[in-house]
Amino acid sequence: MTQVIDLGTRKVSGRAWKILGATSLTNFVVGLDLSITNVAVPDIGRTFASASTADISWVLTFYMVVFAGFLIVAGRWADRFGRLRMLNIGIACVVIGAALASIAPSLVVLVAMRGLQGIGAAMMAPASLGLAVAAWPIERRGTAVAVWSSTLALSTAVGPVVGGFLIEYGSWRWAYALEIPVGLIALVWGIRVLSESERHPETHYPDLVGAALLGAATGGLALAIVQGQEWGWTSPAVLGLLVFCAVSLIVVARRTATHSDPIVPRTLLAVSSFRVASTSLFLFGLGFFSMLLAVVLYLTEIAGYSTVNVGIAIITLPVAALVSANVSGPLADRFGFRAVVIPGMLLFTVGALWLCVRAGPSPNYLLDLFPGFLLAGTGIGAGPAILNGAGVSEVKPAHFSVAGAVTQTARQLAGAIGVAILVAILGASASGVPTVGAFRWAFAYLASAAVLASLVATRLPARTKASPPVNSAA
């Protein structure tokens, strides 16, 4: 007999929880890959000593560009040809990429393998979200998506600690080698627990031209944003990328309106909660993605913390986000997405403003920093995770993965733009060295992004209508 767990509204089967566990582990793998690379970059630079800092940065940049560029296409194809198939191919790409990265003889090979991992992550994220959402009734998806999303916060807390230990006593190659067994566990667990989703082989094939243009435009925009500071915002390379992106998006928009099976389904764009959640997530992403970098730079440049002390100090942010996400999901199921998202983003606003006022040249951690970190982390847990749930809450089952891919693409682009704005604010002083005043402006910017996102989120529906029972095997 199937086990049933009752958390207050619709009963959720034990199988649905197993599916959520398996898909959450795959999401953890994606977050672990990125968080480990962040701490591995300095050691990679020492291994390839002849390479410039700009060259080394491509280990991160190429992954981000490929990930952002391929997300929507991968989500669309997961819905059409099978989410489990796309998920397993993605895990294989990440594991193979990690294995080859761990033995990469040159920086070029390492960057290429990071690109392969970016493709794999883009396949995994929307496919795993689609599988998780399909197994849960609509009025419980706040819990499901919050748990799924919280694994990113968990990987953000675990990755730097474990990766730092492996790098300290081994090398960055060990850090990538760690991803191999974790990825294989996720693959085996998924094969045992997950079932293939219902495929939707419509008469017409998805718009391949639109898919190629959308992927190239998204990746090009991410590249322009990430490299704009280094290449120059008015350089021919950046301006050319921006023009290409604009033209490509215009063509994609026209094809979306006329093609029999566009890469972004027209019925998806007609869902109000999806549009509002995606917009709010983009605005909030401008701030919350930049928070961790702003805090790390402040602690090292102004407060004088060592690398070890920085790692200990910032763990409050991801841990608070992890706890908050798991609490916020059931609350969103009971009271509606809007009732949880807006207070969460306002908590983030208060946390950023606390740091704006209290983060001085010689801070007391418990009095000046900890309250701000706790408030901001709690707001992050109640913001992106719940907005992701709101974005897919009223979407048809056939479009779960592509809807998740669009919201995740909005989040990725917002992160790249937000970091670029943060760097510009911190580098605005005459000396180019960040000052206490510059960090105060930076924290104020983070707060303002959350306020704008909160205003947009007021357009979310107050409550979500119940759904008929969902086949958890889907």
pLDDT of 206 strictly over 90: no
**pLDDT tier at 431, thresholds 50, 70, 90:** low
Give, for 26, the enclosing helix (H) or strand (E).
helix 14-47
Q: Which residues contact 381 (CB under 8 A, 6 or more apart)?
A: 146, 150, 153, 320, 321, 322, 323, 324, 325, 326, 327, 328, 344
Smallest CA-to-CA distance from 217 within 263, 255, 248, 257 is with 248
For residue 371, pLDDT beyond 90: yes
Q: What is the spatial distance between Cα 108 and Cα 154, in angstroms, rounded to a whole number? A: 30
Q: Cα 302 from chain centroid?
A: 28
Give me the pLDDT at residue 473, please.
36
At residue 147, the pLDDT reads 84
What is the sign, positive or negative, of the torsion defined by CA atoms of 155, 17, 89, 389?
negative
Give the separation between CA 128 and CA 131, rounded to whole angstroms.
Answer: 5
3-state secondary structure of 4: strand
Distance (Å, rounded) from C-alpha 450 to C-alpha 291? 11
Percentage of the chain modeled with pLDDT above 70: 91
* Each residue's pLDDT tens digit, 272-320: 888 999 899 889 988 887 887 788 788 888 998 876 677 788 888 888 8
Task: Flag whether pLDDT at 182 surpasses 80.
Answer: yes
- DSSP helix, strand, coil percent of the chain (3-state; round to 5): 80, 0, 20
Residue 17 burial class via C-beta count within 10 angstroms: exposed 0-12, middle 13-18, buried 19 and up? middle
Mean pLDDT, the chain, whole residue set: 83
Q: Looking at residue 471, what is its pLDDT?
A: 41
Among 210, 352, 360, residue whose Cα is nearest residue 292: 352
> pLDDT tens, 233-272?
889 999 999 999 899 889 988 888 888 778 778 888 888 8
How far is 378 from 458, CA to CA, in rounded Å?
19
Its pTM stands at 0.77
Q: What is the DSSP string of 165-212?
A: HHHHHS-HHHHHHHHHHHHHHHHHHHHHH--PPPP---SSPP-HHHHH
Bridge partners of residue 12, in order along the sequence: 5
- 13, β-bridge pairs: 4
Q: Which domains are delineated in the chain?
A: 12-138+152-206 (1.20.1250.20), 267-463 (1.20.1250.20)
Q: Is the pLDDT of residue 5 over 50?
A: no
What are the φ/ψ torsions at residue 10 (nearest 5 degrees)?
-70, 135
**pLDDT score, position 337:** 87
- Does the pLDDT value for residue 173 go beyond 90? yes
Q: What is the enclosing helix (H) or strand (E) of 344? A: helix 337-358
Residue 198 has pLDDT above 60, yes or no: yes
Structure tokens at 60: 């991160």
What band does 343 get if pLDDT is binned at 50, 70 and 90?
very high
Count other C-beta atoms under 10 Å from residue 143's C-beta: 24
Pairwise pLDDT comparison (68 vs 2), residue with the higher score: 68
| 327, pLDDT greater than 70 | yes
C-alpha–C-alpha distance, residues 452 and 203, integer Å: 42
